[in-house]
Amino acid sequence: MPPAGIFPPFGKRKDKRMMGSASLAGLFLLVPPCQSDPMTENNSDAIQSPNGTQATPWCFGTMQFGGRASAAESARMYAACRAAGINFFDTAHVYTDGMSETLLGKFAGKEREELIIATKCAFDAENSRNSILKSFDESRTRLGMDSVEILYLHRWSDVTPLEESLETLAQLRQQGKIRHIGVSNFSAWQVMKARCIAEKLATSIRILQPMYNLVKRQAEVEILPMAKSEGFAVAAYSPLGGGLLTGKYGAGKTGRLVEDKGYAARYQPEWMHRAANALAKLASDYGLAPATLAVAWVAHNDAVTAPILSARNAEQLAPSLAAMTLPLPPELYQAISRLSPTPPPATDRLEEA
């Protein structure tokens, strides 16, 4: 059992996105510090639903809809998210051969005005104008929606000039088919290059979607500090590490890390599995599910705007939803952090870390 008094009273979680301002002197006054909330930077650029509701600091990812999750289980998970107050939903053109978008559109249709819908285009990494327009037209048809709040480039392309990709997205935004442009799986330099090009096109990159969890912490080196400094919203995916951080693999159960070669390679290092086992032990000491601690740990990072939760069924989703009302005291956050290596700084000067 946890020591008495280690958890503050449950209730509304402190807004992890508020950023303090710093006074600067001399010439640095020419560059004002970013003091805005990434979700509500200004009224015209706020991430909100069609009826003006701000996006929740939790997002649900529908990657499993119509695949590992049946239509019935998908409906149960959608309902559980809505009951928990989540209004931010993420999908992609490539997910489950289109069933993810189709099912999300079916569930969301009657309350579309209240929701923030994000999808991703051009997973083929071509990112050409034709590829973007074709996939996004298909996405809108599947969703049954004329527009979405966020359209991400699913990943970087070495084939198509970024200018072509962003010009296409800028035109979609001008046409009212998307409200915000996002980038997924971009490195920090790629994000800043995209921002520079976007500004020349009189548009902007609003939100990033990096991978981030207890055993995948590379985002701490440059992506998250950059996002906090420059005012990008961050929807962090895979907070459970493909299920590794639920503790199920240590218990001998199966899942994507066993069934999917890509996930198996991503989480192959033995130290990651040791960290997952240690997290399960720590969670047990506190009477909590490992998934609850894993998700709460990601959410605690003040550069993360919204962790993207996901699951195969409503029972599997419940521990992640429980993180929404679990504040992490500093000593527990630090204990979790110590279970995996902190990545070295971008300069690689360990003596200054």
Average pLDDT of the residues in 330-346: 97
Pick the CATH number of 44-209 from 3.40.50.970, 3.90.1300.10, 3.20.20.70, 3.20.20.100: 3.20.20.100
Is the model's pLDDT at 272 over the cut of 50? Answer: yes
Average pLDDT of the residues in 251-259: 78
pLDDT value of position 20: 38
Average pLDDT of the residues in 144-169: 97
Higher pLDDT, 151 or 46: 151
pLDDT digit string, tens, across residues 66-96: 999 999 999 999 999 999 999 999 999 999 9
pTM: 0.88
For the chain, the average pLDDT equals 89
pLDDT value of position 37: 55
pLDDT digit string, tens, across residues 133-155: 999 999 999 999 999 999 999 99
pLDDT value of position 178: 98
Task: Give CB contacts under 8 A, 24+ apart, made by 43-47.
Answer: 45/180, 45/204, 45/206, 47/116, 47/149, 47/150, 47/180, 47/206, 47/207, 47/233
* Residue 153 and residue 183 in contact, taking contact as beta carbons nearer than 8 Å: yes
179 vs 117, 140, 142, CA distance in Å? 10, 14, 19
DSSP assignment string, 164-185: HHHHHHHHHHHTTSEEEEEEES
pLDDT value of position 213: 98
Among positive and negative, which fits the CA dihedral 101, 50, 80, 17?
positive
Helix (H) or strand (E) holding 89: strand 88-90
Is the model's pLDDT at 291 over the cut of 60? Answer: yes
Is the model's pLDDT at 350 over the cut of 90? Answer: no
Average pLDDT of the residues in 178-193: 98
| Nearest C-alpha neighbor of 308 from the set 260, 240, 261 | 240
From 151-155, 266-270, 274-278, 289-293, the region with the lowest mean pLDDT? 266-270
- Residue 219 pLDDT level (bands cut at 50, 70, 90): very high
Q: What whole-number distance in Å separates Cα of residue 154 and Cα of residue 119?
A: 9
pLDDT digit string, tens, across residues 315-336: 999 999 999 999 999 999 999 9
Average pLDDT of the residues in 269-291: 97
Higher pLDDT, 21 or 298: 298
Is the model's pLDDT at 117 over the cut of 80? Answer: yes
Percent of all residues in the chain with a pLDDT value above 90, rounded to a whole number: 79
Neighbours of 351 (CB within 10 A): 4
> How many Cα atoms occupy the beta-carbon half-sphere of 212 within 13 Å?
31
pLDDT value of position 40: 55
pLDDT value of position 352: 80
Is the model's pLDDT at 39 over the cut of 80? Answer: no
* Residue 223 and residue 191 in contact, taking contact as beta carbons nearer than 8 Å: yes
Neighbours of 196 (CB within 10 A): 12
Q: What whole-number distance in Å separates Cα of residue 273 and Cα of residue 9?
A: 32
pLDDT digit string, tens, across residues 9-28: 333 334 443 333 333 333 33
Q: Is 237 a catalytic residue?
A: no
pLDDT value of position 9: 36
What is the separation of C-alpha 68 from the centre of its chain, rounded to a whole number of angstroms?
Answer: 20
| Nearest C-alpha neighbor of 236 from the set 296, 192, 284 | 296
pLDDT digit string, tens, across residues 102-114: 999 999 999 999 9
Catalytic entry in 78, 95, 237, 263: 95
